[in-house]
Homo-oligomer: A and B are copies of this chain.
Amino acid sequence: EPSFFPAIQVFRALGARVIGIPADGRGMRVDMLEQLLLRYRPKLVYTIPSFQNPSNIEMELERRKKLVELSHKFKFIILEDDAYAGLCYEGQQLPALRSMDSDGYVIYLSTFSKSVYAGLRLGFIVAQKQVVKQFSAAKQVMDLHSNSVSQWVVERFIVEGKLDSHVARLCSEYRKKRDIMHEALSMRCIRGMEWNRPKGGYYFWLKLPQGVSASRLVTAAAAKKVVFVPGKPFFTNGQGDDYIRLNFTFASQKDIKEGIGRLCEAIAELLDGHREMDISQEFEIKPIV
């Protein structure tokens, strides 16, 4: 963790006990996972190894290998979510976990939501036949099958060879937008703000200066017509109120610059308010909201 919160919601809705694995700049802390495996013996480990949502981190090769090894040793399923496959803005993307596994411990899933169009609601899995059969049966009970029109559109798109050139176009566009957001953040940077420059994917994962909470910033930024997702839902344990997730692929280049300006204004204002409070109040009290 942090991780894609709708996944956390789904696992919880199904009655699973969800335990977050800490991560750093090189991806999931696989060493810490090993300790947790011994203790909890989980059935499934969910991970987004490439351009993780929300942290944009790419899990390094050594950790990928180690993770697949662990799945064999401890007999658990890895659910590899590769939603941002192909959206790599620098160098080569690292191989998928699924490509390192020959015994069916990895269930690979991806989507056309990021590479083609989210409104299609179309994804796919790569897994052992048995698993695919069971998933199909479960899907039949839920919605019979995915929308046929979407499937035809995407099938045509792939067969005509247009998907690859489309993704290449997206990459050059998103790379530019990433650079613009990175520059805007650097220019307007406030002491205590931390972030990295994403190699791929959709998001900046921004640490806020001490004293600025994401949940209060949401309201302040919304007043300036800037929206983002606050960090808390991405954690399993209530942490994360010092983080926000910023999307850099949707807004126009102009709006990105303007938006980051307004966001940093809102942060600065909250920070001033916080300092004033610090001075004016000897004891910390709960603000009346």
Contacts and interface: CB of A to CB of B under 8 A. Distances in A.
Nearest to A14: B141
Interface in A138-187: 140-150, 153
A10 interface: yes
A142 B142 CA distance: 9
Given A149-B149, A149-B150, A150-B149, A121 B141 contact: no
A5 to B, nearest CB: 10
Interface residues of A, number: 19
Contact of A149 (B10, B120, B146): B120
Contacts of A13: 141
Contact of A147 (B121, B142, B144): B121
B146 A121 contact: yes
A141 B9 CA distance: 7
B141 A6 contact: yes
A287 interface: no
Contact of A144 (B121, B140, B149): B121
A150 B121 CA distance: 11
Contacts of A148: 119-121
Interface string A120-146: 110000000000000000001111111
A138 to B, nearest CB: 8
A112 to B, nearest CB: 12
Contacts of A6: 140-141, 144
Contacts of A149: 119-120, 147, 149-150, 153
Interface in A61-107: none
Nearest to A122: B147
Contacts of A144: 6, 121
A16 to B, nearest CB: 13
A260 to B, nearest CB: 27
A141 B142 CA distance: 13
A149 B150 CA distance: 8
Contacts of A150: 147, 149
9 contacts: A6-B140, A120-B147, A120-B149, A121-B143, A121-B145, A143-B143, A147-B149, A147-B150, A149-B153
Given A121-B145, A143-B143, 14 more contacts: A6-B140, A6-B141, A6-B144, A9-B141, A10-B142, A119-B148, A120-B148, A120-B149, A121-B143, A121-B144, A142-B142, A147-B150, A149-B149, A149-B150
